[in-house]
Amino acid sequence: MGRVDPRLHLFAVEGSSYAVSTDYLRFARIEPEAAGAARRGGPADPVLNRLGVPLDPPGQKRFRFAPPDTLVLMLTYACNMACRYCCQGEIPDVRENHMSRAVAYRAVDWLMRNSEDAETVNIGFFGGEPLIRFSLMKKIAAYAGRRAKAAGKRVRYGIMTNGLLLTDQVIDFLAGKHVQVTVSFDGPAAVQNRNRPLKGGGRSFRLIAGRIRRLLARCPDALLRSTLYAGTDPDQVIQTARRLGFRQCRIEKVSSSLLAEGKKNDEAASSGQMAAHLRRQGERFLAAVRERDAAGLQRIAVDSAFMEGVRQMFQLARAGAPVRRRWFSCGAGRQLLAVAANGGLYPCPRFLALPEYRLGSVYEDGFRGELHRKSLIIHSEDCRLCWARYYCGGGCVVEHLGRTGSIFLANPDTCRLRRARIETESG
C-alpha cells in the first residue's frame, strides 16, 4: 500500500469518507472508492480537483508581527486552595510572593509604551489566586484607566480565579469593569472536592458553586475552565457547567509540565478520555444537525477557544470563502507576555517556572522575542509534516516543552486531541 499524498488528509466519520486539503483547508465528503484509491497511494489530483484547490503548494509566508498588547500580571503566588496538579511549587522565585504596586504600575506603563499604536490593550490578573490581591487589582485598574485615557487607548481586563473570594464587592467590581472572568473549577462535586480542595484540606464544591451562581447573575459570559485529571469524565463536567449556568466551558487535559515525574501517564489517560469525549460530542452534533434539533445544538455549544476557531475555519470553507492558515496557536511571546511578581517578562504565565525563558523586564522597553517568532509550522518537523498544521497552528509550546523537552518537538497527547477535534468539526 502506497502513502497518501501529503496534500490530502483522509478520514471517516460515521461511515462517510472525507478529504481535507492540508494546504488550502478545503474539505468535502468523497466517494468511498475515491477515498480508497487515494488511501492506497493513488493519484491525489482527482480528489484535489473535487475539493476545488490548486495542485501546487502555496508560496512562502512573510510574517508581520503586531506589537505586544496583552500583559498577564502575576499578582501573587499565594493561593487559598491546594489543587493536586498545581504548578506553583515549580516557580523558582516563589519566595517573592506578591507583586508590589510599584512593579504593577511599571508594567502598566510598559504596556502603554510598547503596545505602540494598538488602540486596545489587555491586562490579565493571574496568580496563585489573584483575588487575594483584590485591593491591588482595583488600584491597577484605576491607574491603567488613567494611563490609557492619556494615551488614547482602551483597556480590557481578564482574570483567572478559583472562585473562592467572589464576594458581592468583588463581583460588583468585575461587572463594573466588564472583566472577562474565567473560573477554574473541576465540578462535579466529587471531582472538585478531590482535585481542588481548600488549603486546609476542606471541600470546596459547595462553597464555590454558590459564589459562581452569584457571579453568573452579573457576569453571564464568565467562562468555566476545567482541568481533566485522574479519571474525570468530560461529559459530567459539562453537565455541571450547565447546571451552574455557565454559557461557556473550556476543558483542558492536565498538562505534563504541571505533573511530577512518575505521573506523566495521567496526561496520556486524560487526553485519551478527552479524544473519546470529542468523538461522542461529534456524533451528537451530527445527530442534532440531521434531526434539526436546536436544543441539541445548544447543549453542545460548550467548547474551547481553539474549537471556536476551527469551527469558524470550517464555516468559511463551507461558504467558499478564503480560510486563513494558522501559523501560531496563541500570542505567547509576541502579542502576549506574562509579568512575574518581580517584574520579569515571560512568554506566558506557564513559562514562569522556567527562568531561561525570561524575555526582559518591565524596567526596560522591548523584549527578546526572536524564539517565539518562529512558527512551528515551519520550524518543527512534527508540525511541518502534520496534515492538521494550518488548523492547529502548532499547539501550545509549553505542552510540547513539558512533554518532550523542546518547544519544537510536538507533544503527542496534545496532537492526538487537536487532530481529533479538527476531524470532529469537519463532519
Residues contributing to the site for ligand SF4 (CB under 6 A)? 329-330, 332, 348, 350, 376, 382-383, 386, 388-389, 392, 394-398, 410, 415, 418-419
Q: Give the residue with the Cβ less far from ligand SF4, 73 or 215.
A: 73
Alpha carbon 85 to chain centroid, angstroms: 18
DSSP annotation of 98 reads B
As measured in angstroms, the least distance from the Cβ of 48 to ligand SF4 is: 20
Show the CA angle centred on residue 419, arms to residues 418 and 421, nearest 5°: 65
| Residue 387 CB, nearest approach to ligand SF4 (Å) | 8
Nearer to ligand SF4, 72 or 108 (CB): 72
- Least distance to ligand SF4, CB of residue 297, Å: 27
CB of 396: closest distance to ligand SF4 in angstroms?
A: 3
Contact by Cβ (8 Å): 388, 419 = yes
Provide DSSP, 369-380: -TGGGS-HHHH-
Residue number with CB closer to ligand SF4 (148 or 397)? 397
Least separation in angstroms between residue 374's CB and ligand SF4 is: 13
Query: DSSP alpha helices (H): ranges in 45-154?
Result: 45-51, 101-114, 134-151
CA-based Rg of the chain, rounded to a whole angstrom? 22
**Which H helix or E strand runs over 310?**
helix 305-318
The H or E element that residue 404 is part of is helix 397-404
Choice between 343 and 394, CB closer to ligand SF4: 394
Cell of 378: 515551519
Q: Which is nearer to ligand SF4, 51 or 420 (CB)?
A: 420
Peptide bond just before 68 cis, omega within 30 deg: no
- Minimum CB distance to ligand SF4, residue 278 (Å): 14
Nearer to ligand SF4, 26 or 421 (CB): 421
Q: Which amino acid is at 154?
A: R
